Structure 1
Amino acid sequence: MTKLFFASVSALALSSAAVAREAAPDQDPRWVDVITVTGQSALTSDQDAVILDLAPATAPDAAGLAARLPGAALVNNGALSGQVQYRGLYGARIAVRLDGQAFHSGGPNLMDPPLHYAPAPLLDRLEVTRGPAPVSQGPSLSAGVNAVFKHIDYAQTARPELQGDLTTVVRSVDESHAIGGVAGLAIDRQRFELLASTERGEDRDTPYGTLVGTGHERDVYGFGYGVRLAPRTELTADFRRQEGGPTGNPPFPMDIRFMDTSTSRLGLNTQWGGWGVSVSAEHARVDHAMNNFDLRPAPMPMRQRETLASSETVRFSLDADRAFQGGVARVGLDRADIRHDTTITNPMNPDFQVTPFPDVELARTGVYAEWEGPAAGYELYAGLRLDAHDAQAGEPRLGTALPMGPRMLALTFTRAERDWDDVTLDGLVRIARPVSDSVTMRGALARKSRVGGQVERYGWLPITASGGLADGNTYVGSLDLEPEVATSLEVGFDFANARAYLRPTAYVSWVEDYIQGVPAEPITPGVADTPLEMVSAMNGDPTPLRFSNVDARLYGLDADFGLVLTQAWRVDGVLTYMRGEREDVDNDLYRISPASLRLSATYQQAVWSVSLETLMVAEQDRVSRENNEAETPGHVLLNAYGHWDVSERVRLSAGVENLLDQPYRDHLGGYNRNAGLGVPVGERIPGAGAGAWLRMNARF
């Protein structure tokens, strides 16, 4: 790693991150990092949160934007299926919301992780908490991510105002284009907006050749309405419909045929008895189909598969806050009910169908209380959360074409106790203390929890559905899974003056009952001498894994830093180092991002800037043996981008990623399962080649 970093120091003068620092609205800046997609002002010295005012438009997936933050990385499972990894944790372990709304994925392989529903033309910014998320954001083990969408503001007077925000993006690396935005009318007491976005992309180019079957399609439309019923009372209504078309997912055994999702929310904000009160009712419905023959070579008729999956989330919440003891106290109650169902079919054989996760119902009821404010010269946050969970699953349904092996496993599952319930307790304390005008010390101690999902608990049939792991292994669940409980400690400081800033954080997290795949039959692994192993071998893997509770530890160091050299020149950087280890056995956790360093330099004038950036990624040789994880070498990429403010309302941005067309394979990129991709099956999928992009944003 050291050689890789120092070999690239000469590129420092040619690099840029375009980082600005500004406090996020309504939140303590010590707790939140913010990436703005639309771009804001230049570097200032008196603001604490990070804004990337020139976030490169190198991919359609918004998860790649969050991956530019310290401690974060992108789990790239396809053009529209990326997940954010934060300090080694990803998937449901991160509390991801869309304009404050949270709902469950529609597919068992997490082809639609939350940021799948955040197309760039509609996105205003991504807010990412540093470290564990506040308890008010719900249960999770790690950071909170909120994708904030563009909206129309209320006008200042009763005279109607037309407002709008339009963004269009084109990219050469996948011949893609996207256009969309929001427009509407507003007066001082009402606002109405329409939103729409459409995007299409073709196969992605890499230095190794074109990846066939990696195109994408996504359309979104909806509306929003707000009315001020009184000076301190507002009623809001929002609806979004997203229709995803054929989209390649080479790390998975199938590709997206469609992903149709509707989300709606009603909200009421008011004042009552000295309390600020917010009430919301939310609904989301996902209908999803995926198959292994439309975007890749079709297997023989008996091996063709199409999976139909659905998910429905209904959520209610009540939150209240008021001034208390010099700070702000908040209390809340929320309830979420989720239903999942998945059916695997063979379009060539109507008698072949099976439900690997039959009629799963998950429910959670939670209460929380938190306070933040000054205390004896410190800035303090303290919160507690209690959640009651319950889950159940129906009986598997099998067509007449299913052989005896799956029928035996289905019978065992049917006879088992499938109802489950438990209670989890979360707590978080954050503390910060200014020690000078330019230095603030900070720390956090947390106990956070997460319960297993439908795949981890109720998967009775050994298939490659893994909740987004995309490692090619077959998995089954465990009905007796205990909740994951993470005890986390972090310390750091913020330094900022008129010329420089530095924000390092060291952290460690001990996770009791961490959920990971382990050998399903550890006594004679690789020998198909049980019904489970025999069925798994029929599905191509004689060594199935079972989601089980283990003990784990994650630790690392991340930081961002910068220096203003002259009135026009500045340099910035982001360092991320993380490790994930099993504590019960001598093994590493699966899919942990290698160390990386992003160094940059920017030349900025009043209405334009140019940036060059180098990303240095170390080799990753600390891999999970149980997941058959392959090592990856390090690599260095050079990127260039810039912007021009044509007017106060129009901005043009452009850039080139992987300027030198460097061949590389991202460690989190997954393994190829598409025989027609142009990369051997089982090899790690290569990263994108050299490609130019152009973005225009116009506001009126």
Structure 2
Amino acid sequence: MSTKMIYGASLAALLAAAGPAFAEDDAPALQDVVVVTGQSNSTETETQMTPDYLPLEGPDITHLLARTPGGARIGNGALSGQVQYRGLFGERLNLRVDGQRFASGGPGLMDPVFHYAPAPLIAQVVIDRGVSPVSAGPGLAGGSDAVFKRVDFSDDAEPTLGYDLSFSTRSVDSSYAGGGVIGLSTDSWRVNVIGSTEQGEDFEFADGTVGGSEYQRDVYGLSAGYRTGAHTFSFDMRRQNTGKSGNPPFPMDIQFFDTDFARAGYEGDFDSFDVKASLNYIDVAHLMDNYTLRQDPPPDRQRYTYAYATTLGGDLSVSFAHFGGVMEVGLDGETVEHDVTIYNPNNANFFVTPMPDIEESRVGVFAEWTGFTRGVNAQFGLRVDDYSTEAGTAVTGPALPMAPQMLASMFNMADPGADETTVDAVARFWTEEINGFTWRGTIARKNQVPNYVQRYGWLPLTASGGLADGNIYVGDLDLDPETAWIFEAGFDYFGQSFYARPTLFLRDVQDYIQGVPYDDTIGVADSMVEMVAGMSGDPTPLRFANTDARLYGLDLDFGYDFDGPWRVDGVFSYVRGERTDIDDNLYRVAPPNLTLAATYEQADWSASFEVRGVAEQSDVSLTNSEQETGAYAIANFYGDWTIRDGVHLSFGIENLFDEVYRDHLSGYNRNAESDVALGERVPGAGRSAFVRIGIVG
């Protein structure tokens, strides 16, 4: 199947030849589907896929999403990368793993959502184009769901063996990864086990080694299902153990994440309506410190932090025919508990709870209609969410100075409770294909409530929910939710040889939560917060506050299929993020970038030469003391070979000319045991060769 024939055609080095799988009630204009591993099966609601490959730029699937239109990667560590989509990242995006929404374990977001999506276990990533539908849950902007591999029901009463495995190695960090799924299924039951193991050393670049960039991660689990008539029951559970893994842009590194996932689901097809329901449980235990993977600070400055997060959630929805389309109504929610405690390993009397016993709960209801009206396809959605948060008592050990103890007393005397209600509305339109064109547009109002760090961070710390800008922050109990008005317009064009999918977008965000100077007397320690921050080396702390912001831009993918074996594909992304309450820019927004790939393709093999060019980023945040970055370009080579049915080999060399480059989103180095100077941006990986083999049956 040629790239020009499929919806979601993208960069040749990303999708060599793939047809995304859409259910009959899905709308291609609203989603992208990126297939991570080769698929050999097909059903009535799928398009058969030939095996594809992705560049092996690292273990984090955020590298993959960064290659899609509007996508970028926040590089906070090999296993701590965050997705940026059209300038927004972190909890503002509606990210799910196998359909589950959950709270990350640490206040620094060392375990963002896709930390829990190892590439060897992921079958595909479904991207919500532009904005997420209200049925997928709350969120300020777009989102995506990383779907795990599993052995599906077969068409036979006799058990059938199925498996999907991959094994890879990469030179730049001497890393390896392996894993997948293997199981049995019939037409009425299925059961499979999953497992993966990954490990890498500090990665290299032309001028040396990036210290403290090693990683290790293991996952194992079980998935089962039972089908009787029109009713399907499922159960999934898995355990993830992340070991010592470096985070050069952070003041601490991961010592472990021990995380348990459990999910029970039901789908039923009744005469006049369909029902979906699930219950979810996620428990995260996390330890980080500032001395195991980096140069030891003085004994009185050594710290380790325990953090916990538990999420219990569920959802129920009913779909039925209505007004010539499909109406879905539903109820969902979750309860989340957080706790964070900081210790000094050399002093039993030094401990403090900067985010003590935080409890967050949400209950949401939604209605979403998808169908054909007034000559166009449309989706209309309305969601109402009710939030409630509470905090426990801040505790300090007797070894802490008097100033932080006084701040703890002030926090304990305040009213830490908060209750908010948000209303989201989404209207999306797209036409039928007319002469190769599908026109589309979106108008939406979306909300995001403050996270627990932004609201309850009473102690001045560098913990900032993954911003990693080096600033010290405190929270604000009186923060309001962010509200974004979103407008998008574009088209998908597929001709005989050429395709293009451009989108223009605008997001106007009221009450955007951003760090601002703590008070008007910047640099003068005339408050307790500034005094405590000064003890940690930053006399100019920031506090989270409601501001106003605007993001706008253009992104597209495009390509041309020549007569014969050659084709060219490309992805372009441009986003501008700015404060509208003052003259400043938003922090850590990706610069304009363009990727072009020329591919030579035969029936069972292909080869691609790719060039990625990134412009300078001079539109930086003065408030966050953000440094500008220069332009750069790197070249890559990728090969792909289907050895035989079910066996697929991919290989490549990335950064062919061993360029030293610094991505604007890579963060500033804070690990002294490195060939990168303190405060300098972490460079990209040097020349690297990789090999991966996939086996499907």
How does the TM-score come out when normalised to structure 2? 0.96
Shift of 1:197: 0.5
Aligned AA for 1:368?
F
| Distance in 1, Cα, partners of 2:48 & 2:481 | 33
Match of 1:472 among 467, 470, 473: 470
Please show how residues 192-591 of structure 1 align to structure 2 within 5 Å.
192-228=191-227, 230-272=228-270, 274-434=272-432, 436-521=434-519, 523-591=520-588
Offset of residue 322 of structure 1: 1.4
2:685 paired residue among 679, 683, 688: 688
Secondary structure class of the residue paired with 1:124 = strand
Q: Tell me the equivalent position of 1:616.
A: 613
> Residues 52 and 646 of structure 1: is their aligned pair in 2 closer, same or farther, counting only changes over 3 Å?
closer
Worse-superposed segment, 49-58 or 469-478: 49-58
User: Is 1:678 matched up with 2:675?
Assistant: yes
1:322-381 per-residue CA deviation (whole Å, 9 max, x = no partner) reads: 122222111110121000000000111111000000000111000000011111220101
Secondary structure of 1:110's counterpart equals: coil
- 1:661 paired residue number: 658
C-alpha displacement of 1:20:
4.5
Preserved contact between residue 18 and residue 602 of structure 1 (Cα < 8 Å) = no
Q: Deviations over 1:621-656 (max 9, x none)?
A: 000001000000010010110110011110000011
Identity %: 50
What one-letter code is carried by the residue in structure 1 that aligns with 2:193?
Answer: L
1:171-182 aligned within 5 A:
171-182=170-181
Partner of 2:22: 25
Query: SS of 2:295's equivalent?
Result: coil
Partner of residue 66, structure 1: 65
3-state DSSP of counterpart to 1:646? strand
How big is the shift at 1:271? Answer: 2.6
Q: Does the Cα contact within 8 Å between 1:17 and 1:613 map onto a contact in 2?
A: no
Instruction: Specify which of 633, 637, 650 is matched with residue 634 of structure 2.
Output: 637
The alignment status of 1:36 with 2:35, answered yes or no, reads yes
Cα distance, 1:659 vs. partner? 0.7
Q: Is the 8 A contact 2:218 2:242 kept in 1?
A: yes
- SS of the residue corresponding to residue 644 of structure 2 reads coil
Q: Which amino acid aligns with 1:578?
A: V
SS of alignment partner, residue 543 of structure 1: coil
Amino acid corresponding to residue 421 of structure 2 in structure 1: V
Task: Give, in angstroms, the shift of residue 431 of structure 1.
Answer: 0.5
Q: Deviations over 1:64-87 (max 9, x none)?
A: 111111001000100000010000
Q: In the alignment, residue 235 of structure 1 is paired with which amino acid?
A: F
Shift in Å, 1:573: 0.5
Letter in 1 for 2:587: Y
- After TM superposition, the score normalised by the length of structure 1 is 0.95
- Corresponding residue number in structure 1 for 2:4: none
CA distance in 1, matches of 2:443, 2:629: 33
Q: How far did residue 23 of structure 1 move?
A: 4.1
Call closer, same or farther: CA 1:620–1:280 in 2, change over 3 Å: same
For residue 314 of structure 1, report the CA deviation from its aligned partner.
0.2
2: CA distance, partners of 1:255 / 1:249: 5
1:537 aligns to what SS in structure 2? helix
1:37: Cα distance to partner?
A: 1.1
Contact 2:38 2:694 in 1 (8 A): no
Q: What does residue 187 of structure 1 align with? A: 186
CA RMSD between the two structures: 1.7
In the TM superposition, what whole-angstrom CA distance separates every residue of 1:166-215 from its partner, at most 9, and x where no partner exists? 11110001100011011111111011101110111001011221112211
Deviates more, 1:153-162 or 1:547-556: 153-162
Which has the larger displacement, 273-282 or 463-472?
Answer: 273-282
Contact 1:614 1:636 in 2 (8 A): yes
Contact 1:504–1:558 (8 Å) recurs in 2 = yes
SS of the aligned residue for 1:426 comes to strand
Q: 1:598 aligns with which of 590, 595, 598?
A: 595
Cα pair 2:38 2:696 within 8 Å, conserved: no
Tell me by how many angstroms 1:498 deviates: 2.0
Number of residues of Structure 1 aligned to a counterpart in Structure 2: 680
Distance 1:570 1:626 in 2: 45
Partner of 1:652: 649
What amino acid maps onto 1:656 in structure 2? I
Match of 2:141 in 1: 142
Is the contact made by 1:19 and 1:50 (CA closer than 8 Å) also made in structure 2?
no
**Is 1:102 the equivalent of 2:101?**
yes
Q: Give the Cα separation in 2 of the matches to 1:660 and 1:488.
A: 41
Structure 2: gaps spanning 5 or more residues: 1-10, 41-45
Q: Offset at 1:435? A: 6.2
